[in-house]
A and B are shown apart, each in its own frame.
Chain A
Amino acid sequence: MKWWYILPVFLLCLVAIGLWQRLQRAEQPAPESVAPVVVNPVNEPIQAIPLQIALNETKVKLGEKLFHDPRLSHDNSVACASCHNLQTGGTDHRQRPIGINGAEGFVNAPTVFNSGFNFRQFWDGRAETLEDQINGPIQAPHELGSNWQEVTAKLTAVPDYVAEFAALYPDGIQPHTIRDAIATFERSLYTSNARFDQFLRGDGEVLTEAEKAGYHLFKTYGCIRCHQGVNIGGNMFQTFGIMGNYFADRGTETQADMGRFNVTGDAQDRHVFKVPSLRNVALTLPYFHDGSAARLEDAVTIMGTYQLGRRLAPNEVDLIVQFLRTLTGTYKGKPL
C-alpha cells in the first residue's frame, strides 16, 4: 500500500520545518530604530555635538526635498524652509512668521537646526517628537494651512516622489512616511564642530580670553542651570520670569504668553516655556517666543534680570555674548 510512505515523509518534513525555523530565527534582521545619539561626555555642563550622526542618507535627501517643497502648503506658496530658512540659521529673522495668505503667526519661529536634540518640540513643548511636530505646521491655518489628505494627494501626483517613497517605504506616500522623511532630515540638521565644541574637546586655544570669561560668567551666573546639555537648552521647561514679572513689564499679554499652560491647563505651568537651545543663537534673532528681543545683548540682559535676578553690567553682557557667538557650528562642513 503506497499510502503508508506519506507518514514517514511527513514526519521528516516536520523535522525539516523545525530546523528551518531555527535557521530563519537567526537570520531575522533587527528592526530599524533611531539609534540614540551617543555624546562623549566631557566634564562640563555643556556637551559637544557628535561630529557624525549616522542617518539613512536617502531619507535625509527626501526629507530635505520635502522641507523645501511649497506643495506642502495649501496654496503651494509656503514651504517649511520659508520660515526655517537654512541660509539664515534655520529661522526667518522675523518677530513672527508669515504663513499662507500673509497670515502672521503667534510666536517667533525657532530654528530647526539641532531640533533633534530637543526633548520636546515647540515653545510650549506640545509635540513630543519631531514626527509629531510636523502635524502642527501642516495643519495650522496661519502656517501651511493644509491637511494630510491634501498633502498626500498632491505628492502622489508627482512621479518622482512616488518613486522615491516607494524605494524607502513599503507603504509609499503616507502621512507617517512623510513625517519620517522630514524628521530624519531634521535630525541631520546638527551643527557640529562649533568653536566652543572644539574647546570642549580639549582645544584650549580656540577661544579668546574674553570668550572664556564669558563662558565662566555663563556658568557662575547660573545661565548654565537652564541652558545646559548638548543643546545648551532644550531639555527642560522653565518659567519665563522667575525673578520678576516679565510679562507685566512688557505689557499686553497674549494667549501664547501662557506657554505650557495652554497644553496642560495646570496653573503651575503659567508662562512656562521650553528652555530654548542656544546653539547658533547669534544667528537666530530675534529672540524669545515673542521675538521681542532684537539683539542678543537684549536677550542676555533680560535673562539676567528675569531668570537670575541679577542686573548684568554691559561688559558682562558683552562677554557672555562673545561666548554665545562661539556656539555657531557648521552644517555640511560649512559654518552656518
Chain B
Amino acid sequence: MSAARMRYSMIISGVVLILTLLFVKSRVVDFTAHERFTRDLRRLQEVDTTLNQDILKVRDGLLTYYDTLVTASAELNGLYHHIRRSIPSFIGAQGQQDITRLLDAYAEVLASKARALERFKSDNAILKNSLQYFPLVATEVAEEAGGHLLEQGPVTELKNLLRDLLVYTLLVREDLTLQLQARIDSLSHNRDAFASAVERSKLDTVLAHAQTILTYAPRVNSLIAELLALPLAQRSAALHMAYNRHYERALRTADNYRLVLYLLSVALLSYIAYIIVRLRQATQALNTANEHLEERVRERTAALQKTTEQLDQRNQMLVEQQQRLRAELADAAAYVTSRLPLPLTGDVKTAWQYIPSEQLGGDAFGYHWLDEDHLAMYLLDVCGHGVRAALLSLSIANVLRSQSLPGTNFYEPAAVLQALNNTFPMEQHYNMFFTMWYGIYDKRHRRIV
C-alpha cells in the first residue's frame, strides 16, 4: 500500500469513527426507558393519592376491609424498588446521584408511611370495635342497673360518659382526654355501687371499651394526620422534577450531538458531491484528451506511413544498388574467371575447375609457357575474399603472366617469389598478404622445378 493510500484509509476510518460516535451519542436517550420511568413516577403519585383516599374511607367506615390499603402499599414499595433499579442509563452520573439521593429520601418517608399504616390498620380496627360495642354494652348496663339501683349517681355518670365519649371521638382534644380519663377511673372505683357480680363484670367490660376508645381515638386521629401529612407526594414530585431536569439535559446533549452529526454529514455529502463533480470534470477532460489523442494518433500514423514509404523507397534503392553491385561483382567475377588461362592441349594438357567463394575470391592460378619447354604454373591465395583480394590476386597473376618483374629470372621459383614478396609488401596492400605456390615444368627433362 502506498503512503497516500494509507493516509486516505486512515482519514476515512477516522471520519467513520467520529460519525459512529456522534450517532451513538445522539441516540443515547432511550425513549422507551424514559416512558416507562415517567409512567412509574406518575403511578407512584397516583397510588399514593388512592392510598390516602382509602385511608380516609376506612376512617369514615366507607371502606370496610384493608385489602386496597395493602395492595396500594405493596405497589408503592414495588414501584419504588423498580424505579430505583431502572433509572435510565442516559441520565448522567450527576443525575443518577441526585435521583438516588431523592429516592433515599423517598424511601425514608415511604417506610414511615408503611409503619404508620400498619399501626393505623390495627388501631382503627380496635377503635371501631369498641365504638360499636361500647354504646350497646353501656346502655345495657345502665338500663339493667337503672331499673333497681337506689343510688342513680353511677348510672347517670355512665350515661354521661357514653354521651361525652361519643362526642369526644368527633373532636379529640387534650383537655377532654384528661377529664374523661378521670371519669372512667372514678366509675371504676365505684364499681361496688353495682349490685351483682354479673353487673360488675359487665361494667368492667364497658369501662375497658371506654378506655380503649379514649386511648385509641387520639392515636388513630394522629395516625391519620401523620399519614396524610407525610411528604410522600412532595418527595415523589421532587423526584419527578429532578428526573425531568436531567432528562432534558440528556435530551439537549443528544440534540447537540445530533446537530453536529447532521452538520458533519451535510459537510461530508457536499464534499462527496464536490468530488463527484470533480470526477465528472476529470472524465470530461479525459474525453477531450482522448479525442485529441486520436487525432494525434492519426497524424502520427500518417507521419509514420510517410516514413515507411520513404524507407521502402530507400530500401528499394538499396536493393537496386545491391543488385547493381552484385551485377558488377558478377562482372568482376566473370572478368576474373576470364583471365584464367584456357586449358592447354598438346603435349601438356591442363584441366581445372574454379569455384570461388562469394563470387569473388582472392584465389587464382595460372600457367603459361616461358618457352617451348618450360611451363610456369602457380597457385595463389590472397588472404580474405571479395573485390580487394580478387584485385590483388588478379594483379599478381597479371605480373606473372606478363613477366613484368624486372631483373627476375622466371625460371627460378625462389627468385620469382622473392620478387613478388618485394613488389607486394603487406603494408602497402591494406595489410593483405598472400601465399603462393610457383613451379616450372621442364617438358624436355620431364621434371618440375
The interface of chain A, by Cβ under 8 A from chain B, is: 1, 3-4, 6-8, 10-11, 14, 17-18, 21, 25, 28, 36, 39, 44-47, 119, 220-222, 224-226, 228-230, 235-239, 242-243, 268, 272, 308-310
- Which residue of chain B has its CB nearest to the CB of A8? B272
Do A225 and B129 contact each other (CB < 8 Å), given the known contacts A3-B9, A10-B16, A237-B118?
Answer: yes
Taking a contact as CB atoms under 8 Å apart, the answer to whether B205 and A7 are in contact is no
Q: Are B65 and A46 in touch, CB under 8 angstroms?
A: yes
* Chain A residue with Cβ nearest B120: A236
CB pair A226–B9 under 8 Å, yes or no, is no
Query: B20 to chain A: closest CB distance in Å?
Result: 8
Q: B133 touching A222 by the CB < 8 A rule?
A: yes
Could you tell me the distance between the alpha carbons of A8 and B270 in the complex, rounded to whole angstroms?
Answer: 11
| 11 additional contacts (CB under 8 A) given A3-B12, A25-B31, A236-B125 | A3-B8, A3-B9, A4-B272, A7-B16, A14-B19, A14-B23, A221-B133, A229-B65, A229-B70, A235-B66, A243-B205
Give the distance to chain B from A228, nearest Cβ to Cβ, in Å.
4
Minimum C-beta distance from B23 to chain A (A): 5
Q: Does B240 contact A (CB under 8 A)?
A: no
Q: How far is the CA of A235 from the CA of B268 in the complex (A)?
A: 66
Bound complex: CA A238 to CA B120 (Å): 11
Chain B: residues with Cβ within 8 Å of the partner, total of 40
**CB-based contact A6/B12 at 8 Å:** yes
Q: Does B128 contact A (CB under 8 A)?
A: yes
CB-defined contacts of B265 to chain A, threshold 8 Å: 11
Is the CB–CB distance between B65 and A228 below 8 Å? Answer: yes
Assess whether B67 is interfacial by the CB under 8 Å rule: yes
Contacts of A230 in B (CB 8 A): 65, 67
Interfacial chain B residues near A308, Cβ < 8 Å = 129, 133
- Is B126 engaged at the interface, CB distance under 8 Å to the other chain? yes
User: A17 to B125, Cβ gap below 8 A?
Assistant: no
5 sampled A-B residue pairs with Cβ under 8 A? A3-B12, A36-B75, A235-B65, A236-B125, A310-B205
**Is there contact, CB below 8 Å, between B23 and A243?**
no
Q: Which residue of B lies closest to A236 (CB)?
A: B121
**Which of B16, B23, B268 is A17 in contact with, Cβ under 8 Å?**
B23
* B269 touches which of A11, A44, A224, A237 (Cβ 8 Å): A11
Determine the residue in chain B with the shortest Cβ distance to A46: B65
**Bound-complex Cα distance A115 to B244 (A):** 40
Inter-subunit contact B31/A310 (CB<8 Å)? no
> For chain B residues 130-145, which have a beta carbon within 8 Å of chain A?
130, 132-133
A79 to B292, CA, bound (A): 100
* Pair A7/B64 contact, Cβ less than 8 Å: no
A308 to B66, CA, bound (A): 19
Q: Assess whether B404 is interfacial by the CB under 8 Å rule.
A: no
> Looking at B31, B75, B125, B265, which has the most chain A CB atoms within 10 Å of its CB?
B125
Whether B163 is near chain A, meaning CB under 8 Å from some CB there, is no
List the 8 closest pairs (A to B, CB-CB), nearest first: A222-B129, A45-B64, A228-B65, A225-B125, A229-B67, A236-B121, A229-B65, A119-B70
- Residues from chain A with a CB closer than 8 A to the CB of B19 are 10-11, 14
Contact A228 B66 (CB under 8 A): yes
With a cutoff of 8 Å between Cβ atoms, the chain B residues found around residue A221 in the complex are 133
Residue of B nearest to A28 (CB): B32
- Flag whether B281 is at the interface (Cβ < 8 A): no
Q: A119-B74, A238-B125 are in contact. Are A309 and B12 (CB under 8 A)?
A: no
Q: Which has the most chain B C-beta neighbours within 10 Å: A10, A21, A225, A226?
A: A225
**Alpha-carbon distance A224/B66, docked complex (angstroms):** 11
Looking at chain A's contact residues, is the secondary structure mostly helix, strand, loop, or mixed? mixed
Q: How far is the CA of A242 from the CA of B209 in the complex (A)?
A: 10
Q: In the complex the two chains form, what is the Cα distance from A47 to B70 in whole Å?
A: 14
Complex CA–CA separation, A243 to B212 (angstroms): 9
- Smallest Cβ-Cβ distance to A36: which chain B residue: B71
Q: Is the CB of B268 within 8 A of A11?
A: yes
- State whether A45 touches B65 (Cβ < 8 A): yes
Q: Which residues of B contact A47 (CB under 8 A)?
A: 65, 67
A36, A238, A243: the one contacting B122 at CB < 8 Å is A238
Residue picked from A28, A44, A222, most chain B C-beta under 10 Å: A222
User: Residues of B contacting A18 with CB < 8 Å?
Assistant: 23, 27
Chain B, residue nearest A221 (CB): B133
Residues facing A in B48-90 (CB within 8 A) are 64-67, 69-71, 74-75
CB distance from A84 to the nearest CB of B (A): 23
Chain B contacts of A228 at CB under 8 A? 64-67
Q: Say yes or no for B432: interface residue by CB 8 A criterion.
A: no
Bound Cα distance from A224 to B126, whole angstroms: 11
Hey, what's the 0/1 contact readout for B376-390 against A, CB within 8 Å counting as 1? 000000000000000
Are A229 and B66 interface neighbours, CB within 8 A? yes
**Nearest CB of B to A25, in Å:** 5
Could you say which residues of chain B place their CB within 8 Å of the CB of A309? 130, 133, 205, 208-209
Q: Does B275 contact A (CB under 8 A)?
A: yes
Q: Is the CB of A239 within 8 A of B205?
A: no
What is the distance, in angstroms, from B338's C-beta to the closest C-beta of chain A? 82
**A228–B65 CA distance with the chains assembled, in angstroms:** 5
In the assembled complex, how far is the CB of residue A82 from the closest CB belonging to chain B, in whole angstroms?
30
Complex interface residues of chain B between 321 and 335 (CB less than 8 A to chain A): none
User: Which of A44, A221, A239, A243 is the most central at the interface, judged by chain B CB atoms within 10 Å of its CB?
Assistant: A243
Neighbour of B8 across the interface among A1, A28, A36, A268, CB < 8 A: A1
Residues of B within 8 A of A25 (CB): 31-32
A3: chain B residues within 8 A (beta carbon):
8-9, 12
B399 beta carbon closer than 8 Å to chain A: no
Taken residue by residue from 255 to 267, chain B's Cβ proximity to chain A (1 for < 8 Å, 0 otherwise) reads as: 0000000000100
A239: B residues at CB distance < 8 A = 122
Q: State whether the Cβ of B15 lies closer than 8 Å to any Cβ in chain A.
A: yes
A235 to B122 Cα, complex, angstroms: 10
A7 B209 Cβ-Cβ under 8 A? no
- Report chain B residues within 8 Å CB of A238: 122, 125-126
Q: Please name all residues of chain A whose beta carbon is closer than 8 Å to the beta carbon of B9 when the two chains form the complex.
A: 3
Which of A1, A21, A45, A229 has the most CB atoms of chain B within a 10 A radius of its CB? A229
Which of A6, A235, A242 is the one whose CB lies under 8 Å from B67? Answer: A235
CA distance A310 to B32 in the complex (A): 58
Docked pose: A208 CA to B346 CA in angstroms: 184
Give the residue of A45, A222, A237, A242 whose beta carbon is less than 8 angstroms from that of B132: A222
Given contacts A14-B19, A21-B27, A36-B75, contact A7 B208 (CB under 8 A): no
From residue A273, how far is it (CB to closest CB) to chain B in Å? 11
Identify the closest chain A residue to B9 (Cβ).
A3
Residues of B within 8 A of A243 (CB): 205, 208, 212
List the B residue with the shortest CB-CB distance to A224: B64
The verdict on A310 contacting B133 (CB below 8 Å), with A3-B8, A236-B122, A239-B122 known, is yes
Cβ B129 vs Cβ A4 within 8 A: no
Interface string of B95-136 (1 = CB under 8 A from A): 000000000000000000000001101100110111011000
When distances are taken between beta carbons in the complex, the residues of chain B under 8 Å from A237 are 118, 121-122
In the complex, chain A residues whose CB is within 8 Å of the CB of B133: 221-222, 308-310
Q: Assess the B126–A235 pair: CB atoms within 8 A.
A: no
Q: How far is the CB of B413 from chain A (nearest CB, A)?
A: 93
Q: Please report the C-alpha to C-alpha distance between residue A229 and residue B205 in the assembled complex, in whole angstroms.
A: 28
Partner of B16, one of A6, A224, A242, A268: A6
